[in-house]
Every structure is written in C-alpha cells, then in structure tokens.
C-alpha cells in the first residue's frame, strides 16, 4: 500500500525517493515524505503540492479498489513475478541534466492487467519501437519482425502508441503470440483511445503494465519516463523508424547505456522517418543494424541458439573451382573455340596443367570438345 501511495505522490524513477525506499523501506519512506522529513527541498515542495490534492494513503486505497474493478493487480519487488531486469536501472547514469535523464531509478511497483506472470513474460521479450507517423515501409518491416518474433516464442513489447508501436502489437496478436504494452497512464484508461480494441486484446492475451495508478492521465512527460522501463525490462530493443528527435531514440539511448542489445532498422535516406535511425547507427558504435527476424534473434538469443548462415546468392558450379581451373575457364573465348595451346598461352600455364584442368572442366559440364577445339558449354535455354 505504501508503494501504491508513493507512485501517486511522486513521479516514478525519482532518485531520492527510490534511495529512501531502498534504505528505509516503503512504509517509513512514505512517513518521512508526508512528515516533511527529507533534506531535498525540491522533493519537499513537490510532495506538499501533491498532498494538497488529496491524502496519499487514501488515494492508494482508492487506486487498489479501482484496480480490482478493472481486473488489475499491483506487483512489487517482493513478488515472485517481479521483472528482475528493471533493477539494472539502479545504476543507469546519463549525461544530460534533464530530470528524465537524472531520475531513471527502478520502478517501485507495477500495475498489471492480464493473467500472465509479469517477470517470466518479460524475460523472453524484445521491444519494437518507432515513429507514430510511420510510413508504409516502417509498418511492413514492423509486421515482419513482430510476427516472426512472436512465432519464435518471444513476447513483443511496445508502448501502445499509433504507428510502429501499434503495428508491433497487432502483428504479435495476429501470430497468436504474446505482446506487452507499457503505458504512460493508468491500465484502466489506455491511451490513445482509438486503440481501445487493441488494448482489450492485449489485456486478454498479453499484459498491460504501468507505473502509474489506475485513473492516471497520459501526461506528455510520462511517456519519456516510461521509456526507461521498455529499455530495461526487455532482452533487447529494435527501433524501426524514428525522426531526428523522438521518443524512440531516447529509448535507445537508455538501451545502450544499460549495455543491452540496441538494434536499428535502416531506411531510405530520403525519408524523414529514418533520420533518427541513421543518426543512431552513425553516432553509436554499439547499435547494431538489423534487417530481419534472424538478425534480431542472433542479438538477443543465447550464444549459439540462433546461428544463421551468411546471406549468399545462388551457388554456381564455377564458384567451387580451384584457382587454376578458374583461370583456364576465363581464358576460353566467349564465342568460338580455342586449342589447348592457345588456352595455355592466354592463361600463362603449362600445357600439361591446362590439359588436366580441361578434363575437370569437361566433367563439370562447363566446357565441350569439338573438332575445331575447346568451347564453353552453351547456356541452357530458358523455359517459359
């Protein structure tokens, strides 16, 4: 109940509050905050302003009741289903002095809608994020990635927004897979409202999770706070499309700072929706370029779990030739014939070597002998 009250009282991720909870426990930390017994004057002012809107403990009780009505539950670190990966946020340090970069500490709790256990579901998960104003290209790539990952038994995590987020959720659902939406508002009032049907499907077959109590509004800054959870809770994150400055690139900065697999899909150099992706690849050596499900699985899977052969074109017989045989073959005229002596002179090889290689090339079906000399085997006619 104390953690529920703290999530109403102070925005998640707050460095001083998290430190206080870790040192004293949530009940005493709440008592200290409400008694104005903390050294941070900015925190005291924030708590006082929030307390003017209501009693934190009463608000927590009401949030618990509202959660029960919505079929949601509260998950705290002591619970078996707590997602352990998010604890890595305890050591996340970012350069910028902005609050969302300073206050990046782990969640105090999660409000959860859906029957699946939170921790095990997120243990084998990949985040797919990107632009709200996605292009047809971005939507197509997202569909391929999310569907393929879901088929392989990976949960697809995103933020529920328009564009890439919604495409990722819907593709995972279409594959009869699991998808998790990390919200910047209460789990009982998913945003945007036009995605309500999608959120209902996610709650039924996957999970809706949030750090904010039921009823909380989707304020702009909360999306930026929420992004650190997407980065920390998953095995890796893929950015499909992103403008020059976007929430997706902000999420990726946290992924890379946590030393998690950060993957980026390249796009057309003429597309404004791929500028952020290309900047990530250019400025961050740790970001990996991915173009397929196989690429993503190779990054997030256990060592040796997903080994894909390097992409190659169709192999031809001549690709397996040794150096001398290839040289003899290249010395034959494109049209007409040549004698072994002429071939030896062109290839700059002795006649004996040329005769041996010609026998091998003939057996491979690459050359034919005629009355006038040696010729390349005519190409087979194309059957239409």
pLDDT at residue 313, as a whole number:
56
Of 93-102, 174-183, 359-368, give the lowest mean pLDDT range.
93-102
- Please state which of the four CATH numbers 2.40.50.140, 3.40.50.450, 3.40.50.300, 3.30.70.100 is assigned to the domain occupying 70-300: 3.40.50.450
- Whether 317-376 and 70-300 are alike in CATH topology: the answer is no
Assess whether pLDDT exceeds 60 at residue 304. Answer: no
Judge whether residue 356 has pLDDT over 70: yes
Among 145-154, 226-235, 314-323, 340-349, the minimum mean pLDDT is found in: 314-323
370 forms bridges with which residues in the sheet?
A: 373
What average pLDDT does range 348-363 have in this prediction? 91
The pLDDT value recorded for residue 319 is: 73
SS3 content of the chain, % helix, strand, coil (to 5): 50, 10, 40
Lowest mean pLDDT among 138-147, 171-180, 336-345: 336-345
The predicted pLDDT at position 308 comes to 59
Model confidence over 316-332: pLDDT tens digits? 677 788 899 999 999 99
Nearest in space to 88 (alpha carbons), one of 224, 233, 210: 233
Please, are residues 163 and 239 in contact by the beta-carbon 8 Å criterion?
Answer: no
What pTM was estimated for this model as a whole?
Answer: 0.81
Instruction: Return the domain boundaries, the chain.
Output: 1-56, 70-300, 317-376
Is 70 exceeded by the pLDDT of residue 368?
Answer: yes
Query: What pLDDT score does 174 carry?
Result: 97
Please state, in angstroms and rounded to a whole number, the distance separating the CA atoms of residues 67 and 120.
Answer: 22
Half-sphere exposure of 375 (CA within 13 A, CB side): 11
CATH class for the region spanning 317-376 = mainly alpha
Average of pLDDT values for 224-248? 93
Question: Which pLDDT tens digit goes with each residue over 1-12?
Answer: 999 999 999 999
User: Averaged over 273-301, what is the pLDDT?
Assistant: 94
Q: At what angle do helices 247-257 and 275-283 cross, to 10 degrees?
A: 20
């Amino acid at each position: 109940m104390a953690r529920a009250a703290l999530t109403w009282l102070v925005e998640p991720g707050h460095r001083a509050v998290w430190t206080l909870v870790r040192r004293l426990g949530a009940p005493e930390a709440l008592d200290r905050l409400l008694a104005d017994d903390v050294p941070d004057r900015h925190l005291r002012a924030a708590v006082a302003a929030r307390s003017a809107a209501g009693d934190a403990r009463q608000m927590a009780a009401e949030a618990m009741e509202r959660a029960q009505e919505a079929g949601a539950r509260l998950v705290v670190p002591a619970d078996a289903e707590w997602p352990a990966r998010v604890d890595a946020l305890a050591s996340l340090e970012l350069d910028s002095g902005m609050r969302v970069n300073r206050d990046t500490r782990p969640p105090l709790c999660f409000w959860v809608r859906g029957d699946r256990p939170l921790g095990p579901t997120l243990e084998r998960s990949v985040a797919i994020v990107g632009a709200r104003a996605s292009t047809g290209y971005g939507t197509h790539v997202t569909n391929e990635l999310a569907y393929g990952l879901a088929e392989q038994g990976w949960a697809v995590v995103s933020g529920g927004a328009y564009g890439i987020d919604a495409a990722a959720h819907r593709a995972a659902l279409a594959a009869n897979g699991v998808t998790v939406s990390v919200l910047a508002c209460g789990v009982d009032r998913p945003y945007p409202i036009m995605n309500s049907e999608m959120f209902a499907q996610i709650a039924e077959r996957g999970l809706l999770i949030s750090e904010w109590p039921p009823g909380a509004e989707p304020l702009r800054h909360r999306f930026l706070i929420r992004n650190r959870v997407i980065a920390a809770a998953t095995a890796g994150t893929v950015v499909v499309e992103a403008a020059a400055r976007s929430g997706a690139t902000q999420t990726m900065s946290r992924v890379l700072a946590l030393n998690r697999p950060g993957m980026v899909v390249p796009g057309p150099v003429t597309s404004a929706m791929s500028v952020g992706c290309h900047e990530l690849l250019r400025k961050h050596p740790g970001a990996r370029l991915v173009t397929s499900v196989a690429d993503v699985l190779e990054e997030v899977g256990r060592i040796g779990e997903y080994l894909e052969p390097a992409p190659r074109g169709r192999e031809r017989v001549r690709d397996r030739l040794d150096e001398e045989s290839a040289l003899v073959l290249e010395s034959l005229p494109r049209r007409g014939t040549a004698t072994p002596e002429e071939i030896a002179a062109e290839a700059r090889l002795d006649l004996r070597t040329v005769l041996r290689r010609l026998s091998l090339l003939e057996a491979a079906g690459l050359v034919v002998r005629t009355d006038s000399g040696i010729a390349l085997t005519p190409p087979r006619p194309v059957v239409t």
